[in-house]
Amino acid sequence: MNGKRATAFVPGHVTAFFSAHPAEDPAAAGSRGAGLTLSDGVDVTVEPTDDIGAFAAGGASATDASAAGDGPAAVGDDAIAPITLDGEPASIGAVADVLAALDVRARVELETDLPIGAGFGVSGAAALGTAFAANAVADRGRSENDLVRIAHAAEVERGTGLGDVVAQARGGIPIRLEPGAPGHGELDGVPAHARVEYVTFGELSTEEVLAGDTDALTEAGERALSRLRADPRLPTLMDASREFAERADLLVPEVAEAIEAADRAGDAEGGDAEREGGSAAMAMLGRTVFALGTGLSDAGYDPAVCHTHPAGARLVDGER
């Protein structure tokens, strides 16, 4: 090993419902709720660099950059934008924080088929994948719980997520019983897997929603979790998700329309057991609808198709 790069894969995660649980310690803060991890996810490649300017974006002086420039590698665009998302320069605070926490200076390449900012946990996946890949390539010797804790805390502190990281570390269909990173939180899961279809109509501002009436949201989230704990089946998860979106007043018109269309298409086909709770729901927080089986394509949409993912974040090459 002593490899020059390492890659981690982290599944996407759509949240079906949640309640927010702030805390002073970012490892203890988080959310309760449930969702689906997805075989569509994020590949995160970390490549260490000795170029100081490449790490401390915005913090590197000209002197630093020229001092590093006497190595064989020229200081080019990568030094200004050490994080790329599908080849384009990107700024993801939680990724920079994870690198800093592990004391790794590196270029981070993110590759994903998932829509950005639409409720798929891309920032959580980026933070968690960076933790796994940076630990491997720089041989930091952290345990999985440590890496999840670092990524979760970075997401919470940046305000970009509360529950995606712990769900994405676990895989499957995670139920977040208690909020927070390993050592604080507690997880369970729905023992199932499913074909998943999704359609996105655009972004939804997490900040805006969390600045609104969070009492109603929290009450609706806790109620949905109680329902799922009493009956940890997929149809109940979907039905609890729909009730949550209504009670928390989060449904946006395009999403509501798609959910209704999937319902009608399901009814027209007679419906099977999986549809009992409704086959489609809204991803929290995005203008996104996801459906089990063929709910959206039956309704005439042209959805992306994937599956629930059986495993959590993992190294895929270059690891120790």
Phi, psi of 308 (to 5 degrees): -65, 150
Q: Which of 115, 113, 148 is nearest to 129 (CA)?
A: 148
- Stretch near a copy of itself under the rule CB under 8 A, chosen from 61-69, 181-189, 209-217, 262-270: 181-189
| Smallest separation, CB 13 to a copy of itself (Å) | 16
CA–CA separation, 152 and 28 (whole Å): 9
| Smallest separation, CB 191 to a copy of itself (Å) | 5
Nearer to a copy of itself, 229 or 247 (CB): 229
Nearer to a copy of itself, 248 or 315 (CB): 315
| Smallest separation, CB 316 to a copy of itself (Å) | 8
| Smallest separation, CB 252 to a copy of itself (Å) | 30
Site for a copy of itself in 253-282 (CB under 8 A): 272-274
Binding mask 153-172 for a copy of itself (x = CB under 8 A): ------------------xx
Q: Which two tokens stand for residue 161?
A: 């997520």
- Residue 319 within binding range of a copy of itself, rule CB under 8 A: yes
Give Cβ neighbours of residue 180 (< 8 Å, ≥ 6 apart). 21, 23, 27, 28, 29, 30, 152, 166
The DSSP call for residue 28 is T
Interface pick for a copy of itself out of 28, 38, 136, 165 (rule CB under 8 A) = 136
Burial of 91 per CB tally in 10 Å (0-12, 13-18, 19+): exposed
The DSSP call for residue 115 is P
Phi, psi of 5 (to 5 degrees): -155, 155
**Contact call for residues 156 and 29 (beta carbons, < 8 A):** yes
Nearer to a copy of itself, 105 or 142 (CB): 142
Contacts with a copy of itself, residue ranges (CB under 8 A)? 1-2, 132, 135-136, 139, 141-147, 171-172, 175, 182, 188-193, 229, 231-234, 272-274, 310-312, 314-315, 319-320
